[in-house]
């Protein structure tokens, strides 16, 4: 077990290293002079030279890479070209709305999806089962921003039940905070719900066909206990795996959801950085988001032994 954790940690470090190389190379793989690209079409030679100096682009590529990597390891993601502030500080200022949105979505989506999946597998072929299939196909097909505008139009503009957009920090009270997160979480969570519910249903169907479930039913175990204790617990591994993989959907979706609902989070930071070609910000955000994804999936892998004691490494 200890050896497995060590091996798994080593491979995580390796993958993060590869991600770092990719993120670093992004700027250098593009055709042309990176400094000229960042400076834009109307830049003077002096401006381009200044950016060159600021990013240290005159050194050899490996030198640049190790300098950048050492800085990243120290927590220095570079300086924003546009605002001249450290990228990490800018991300820190914007992290609360993003975390709030991602965590609310995660909690709501997983709860809903697992419940739907369990019910659909239990009542296979029923109305709920078919409805779930329809919702999951729609969830995979309608993009986050279309769902978002339909929700805003229906619940904010027409019915006036919820605020149109924006974000209220949690220290201004739970009510305003959650009120502004309801629609964004639904928009962001729909595809995630579809994904998790489908896998939950499949995993539950496999487990419900097992002999021990029949035994449990025969000895009169209550349906609720049979579904949750006997079946769901044993269907846990694929469900948790897909929750981990789906975090990529969530991370990508955050960028779009924040734009639709005007939430001043890290996603907006990156979208604003695109138009200004503020490359250190784009690089820093990609690195952090990818890191979160890799760590979540590490946690998922390590959770297998807790979920299923039969798994030994």
Partner 1 sequence: MSTLTAEPALVAQNGRSRAAQLRRFVRRHPTIVAGGVILAIVALLALAAPLFAGDAITMHPAQRLRPPSDKDWFGTDHLGRDVFARTIYGARVSLLVGLCVAAVSIAVGLFIGLMAGYFRKIDAVVMRLMDGLMSIPAILLAIALVALTRASISTVIIAITIPEVPRVVRLVRAVVLGVREAPYVEAAVAGGTPTWKILARHILPSTINPLIVQATYICASAILIEAALSFLGAGTPPEIPTWGNMIAQSRLFLSRAPWTIFAPGIALALVVLAVNLLGDGLRDRLDPRLARRM
Cβ closer to partner 1: 71 or 150? Answer: 150
Q: Of 286, 303, 304, 305, which lies in the binding site for partner 1, with binding defined by CB under 8 A?
A: 286
Q: Which is nearer to partner 1, 216 or 297 (CB)?
A: 297
- Rounded to whole angstroms, the Cα distance separating 40 from 289 reads 26
Q: Is 102 left (phi over 0), alpha (psi -120 to 50) or beta?
A: alpha
Token readout for 230 is 């006997």
Minimum CB separation of residue 271 from partner 1 in Å reads 5
Which range touches partner 1 (CB under 8 A), out of 86-94, 96-104, 168-176, 256-264?
256-264
90 vs 216, which CB is nearer to partner 1?
90
* Per CB under 8 A, 192 contacts partner 1: no
86 phi and psi angles, rounded to 5 deg: -60, 135
- The 172-191 contact track toward partner 1, x by CB under 8 A, reads --------------------
CB closer to partner 1, 151 vs 216: 151
Out of 251, 263, 269, 300, the residue judged to bind partner 1 by CB under 8 A:
251
| 145 in contact with partner 1 (CB under 8 A) | yes
Distance of alpha carbon 102 from alpha carbon 185, whole angstroms: 8
Q: Which listed residue (18, 61, 222, 228) binds partner 1 by CB under 8 A?
A: 18
Comparing CB distances to partner 1, the nearer of 30 and 172 is 30
Alpha carbons 236 and 255: distance in angstroms, whole number? 29
Q: What residue ranges bind partner 1 (CB under 8 A)?
A: 14-19, 21-23, 26-27, 30-31, 34, 37, 137-138, 140-146, 149-150, 152-153, 157, 198, 202, 248, 251-252, 255-256, 259-260, 270-271, 273-275, 277, 279, 282-283, 285-286, 289-290, 293-294
């Amino acid at each position: 077990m200890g050896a497995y954790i060590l091996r798994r940690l080593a491979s995580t470090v390796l993958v993060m290293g590869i991600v770092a190389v990719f993120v670093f190379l992004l700027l250098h793989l593009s055709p042309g002079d990176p400094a000229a690209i960042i400076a834009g079409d109307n830049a003077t030679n002096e401006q381009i030279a200044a950016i060159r100096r600021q990013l240290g682009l005159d050194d050899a590529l490996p030198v640049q890479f190790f300098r950048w990597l050492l800085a990243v390891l120290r927590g220095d993601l570079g300086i924003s070209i546009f605002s001249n502030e450290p990228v990490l500080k800018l991300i820190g200022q914007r992290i609360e709305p993003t975390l709030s949105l991602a965590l609310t979505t995660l909690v709501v989506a997983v709860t809903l999806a697992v419940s739907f999946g369990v019910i659909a597998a239990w009542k296979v072929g029923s109305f709920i089962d078919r409805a779930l299939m329809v919702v999951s196909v729609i969830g995979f097909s309608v993009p986050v921003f279309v769902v978002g505008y339909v929700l805003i139009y229906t619940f904010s503009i027409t019915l006036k039940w919820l605020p149109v957009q924006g974000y209220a920090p949690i220290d201004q009270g739970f009510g305003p905070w959650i009120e502004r997160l309801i629609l964004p979480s639904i928009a962001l969570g729909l595809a995630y719900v579809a994904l998790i519910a489908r896998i939950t249903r499949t995993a539950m169907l496999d487990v419900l066909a097992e002999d021990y479930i029949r035994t449990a039913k025969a000895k009169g175990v209550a349906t609720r206990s049979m579904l949750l204790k006997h079946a769901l617990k044993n269907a846990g591994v694929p469900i948790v795996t897909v929750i981990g993989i789906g975090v990529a959907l969530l991370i990508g979706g955050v960028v779009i959801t924040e734009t639709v609902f005007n939430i001043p989070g890290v996603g907006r930071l990156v979208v604003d950085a695109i138009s200004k070609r503020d490359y250190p910000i784009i690089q820093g955000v990609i690195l952090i988001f990818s890191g979160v994804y890799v760590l979540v999936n590490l946690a998922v892998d390590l959770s297998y032994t807790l979920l299923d004691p039969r798994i030994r490494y």
